[in-house]
Amino acid sequence: MEATGAGVLVAALRGHGVDTIFGIPGTHNLAVYAELARSGVTCVTPRHEQGAGYAADGYARVTGRPGVAVTTTGPGVVNAATALAQAYSDSSPVLLVSPGVPSDHPRLGRGYLHESKDQSGALDALCAWSHRVTSIREIPAAVARAFVSFTEGRPRPVHVEVPADLLERKGTADLATPFRSTPRVPDPDALDEAAGLLRAARRPAIVLGGGARRPGDDEPVTGRLAMELAERTGARVVTTVNGKGTVPESHPLCLGATLHLAGVRRWLASCDVVLAVGTELGPADLWDDLVLTGTLIRVDVDPGQMYGDHLADVPVVADAALALAGLAVRVPGERHVPAPEDPVERERDEELRDMTRRWAPQLAALREAMPKDTVVVGDNSMISYHGAIVGMPMDPPGRFLFPAGYGTLGFALPAAIGAKVGRPDRPVVVLAGDGALQFSVQELATAVELRLSLPIVVAVNGGFGEIREEMKRRGMPPVGVDLHAPDLMTLASAYGARGREADRPEDLREAVEEALKTPLPTVIAFREPR
């Protein structure tokens, strides 16, 4: 085709199925926005580029399609960088497209607007890769490479930079045919070895991480196959935070998203065979060290995971669903549910009660109010990681989106907007503390503009509650953590949203039920019990 660089860029995106982008127009990307408007792409405008990145991430997690963010040069790109680093940590397919300084720009700079020393290099340190194109002809190949990277192995965010002058200049380019990948097939010998160990195991365990569920998969095949293996072998199943919702937590063999509980880690360390699927078994998942005494079978599309903190005794480098299907064939047996191991259940339940006691009535009210297929988007707040993750069981097709690993604040509201834009048919609920909410509270304006039925449940503790408690455990006085909490009802009204206070559990349940039916976001606040 013959067109401007911006025209070629948008045509390449459209050729790969992109119909929605999240971004903010700026001086250097106006040519891109002109082409987006002509092509019929839906442009969602968050109030901050970090919000655009989180929204693209939330969109990707619930649709199974890459989320695309568009920013301008310099500060626009850097504002989105934190969201991309979070997407990298959580293996989320996000594409950031931005202009860069002109192609003839001197390396030492000359005071160009939004000038950076090395914008692409900065992003390359946070993403899977960043690529600066050098010609209009190269643009389709760069876009195609991005989409290929999302389907080959572990999906992670990437950045494509187009010099600002190329966006305005006319040229010719051949559009690339979208690449159709096939899932990585497991090695039969590795499956045979793994199956033999599972058949002979006396105390097996299954650990499922975020890689055990494909984004957009409402009824995860991997979860069903994992539970089949569990029922045939008597294995207990535990998930990481990103694995929450992969298997029904109501199942008697499922321990829930409790990998970080001390009692569950001790039980896991005592198992003779551990099957870990799509998980790093990293410190952010465990909250502490884990010493395994049994044989470790690892299933992952990323070969590098076989040599992480926990070396695989039996490495199975493959698509999780194909690997579990292969194991299910090799581990026959009647479907039965053995009696629960009471010591594990008892110790887990005691820890859960202790951890979630302050929010237990509110969590129960939320469970009653939310339909089974609700997408819950939690921020890095105590109500999420000490509350909902462990104290609000979830069955498929429910989803729980959380900024694990990198652990950003301000994720929940913009990510929920992206999730709701991507799946308007699904109920979506935000769960955050007042401290985390204020990192991205301006995105209330975006949710109002889009008229999203979005309950935003806020646990108010007057600052950064977890850090406050860490300070107390260190024996130090609280410093910089006791913060002024705004009047959230007035703030919601100022943005054009609705607001409700709901300190009683029954009020919370009613407020969430009503908010799910209202074509506007609703901020629902309650005081966190002490």
Fold of 357-527: Rossmann fold (3.40.50)
Closest CA to 337 of 229, 410, 244: 229
Per-residue pLDDT at 349? 81
HEC sequence for 218-284: CCCHHHHHHHHHHHHHCCEEEECCCCCCCCCCCCCCEEECCCCCHHHHHHHHHCCEEEEECCCCCHH
Chain centroid to Cα 211, Å, comes to 11
Please give the C-alpha separations between residue 528 and each of 368, 384, 387, in angstroms, as whole numbers.
Answer: 19, 12, 11
Cβ atoms of 239 and 207 closer than 8 Å: yes
The bridge status of strand 170-172 relative to strand 2-4 is antiparallel
Distance set, CA 384 to CA 90, 381, 459, 512 (Å): 17, 5, 10, 17
**What is the model's pLDDT at position 111?**
85
CA dihedral sign, ordered 499, 501, 506, 508:
positive
Instruction: Report pTM.
Output: 0.95
Cis check: omega of the bond before 397, within 30 degrees of 0: yes
Q: In the beta sheet, which residues pair with residue 158?
A: 95, 129
* DSSP type of residue 36: H
Class of 2-172 in CATH: alpha beta
Assigned token pair, 229 = 């293996």
Other Cβ atoms closer than 10 A to 187: 15
Residues across the chain: 530
Give Cβ neighbours of residue 294 (< 8 Å, ≥ 6 apart): 203, 270, 271, 272, 273, 274
* Side chain identity, residue 287: W
| Inter-CA distances, 480 with 411, 435, 471, Å | 22, 12, 11
| Structure tokens that stand for 332 in this block | 């026959």
Query: How far apart, in whole angstroms, are the C-alpha atoms of residue 359 and residue 289?
Result: 27
Q: What is the DSSP letter of 393?
A: -
Would you say 504 and 498 are in contact if contact means Cβ atoms under 8 Å apart? no
Among residues 258, 251, 211, the alpha carbon closest in space to that of 234 is found at 251
Contact 50, 80 (CB under 8 A): yes
Q: What is the mean pLDDT of each run of 10 residues along the chain (530 residues)?
A: 95 97 97 96 98 98 96 97 97 97 82 89 96 96 95 93 96 88 92 96 95 84 94 94 94 92 90 96 87 95 90 96 96 72 75 83 96 97 92 94 95 98 97 96 98 97 90 94 93 97 95 98 90
- Pick from 399, 376, 358: nearest CA to 454: 376
Largest CA distance in the chain: 73
Is the separation of the CB atoms in 122 and 97 below 8 Å? no
Give the span between the Cα atoms of 447 and 440, in whole angstroms: 12
CATH number for the segment(s) 188-339 = 3.40.50.1220
Which pLDDT belongs to residue 308? 82
- The structural domains of the chain, with segments of one domain joined by +, span 2-172, 188-339, 357-527
SS3 469: helix
CA dist 8 and 3 (Å) reads 6
Q: Which residues pair with 438 in a beta bridge?
A: none
Q: How far apart are CA 334 and CA 483, in angstroms?
A: 57
Q: Per the omega criterion (within 30 degrees of 0), is the bond before 106 cis?
A: no
Token pair listed for 255: 């321990």
The domains spanning 2-172 and 188-339 adopt the same CATH topology: yes
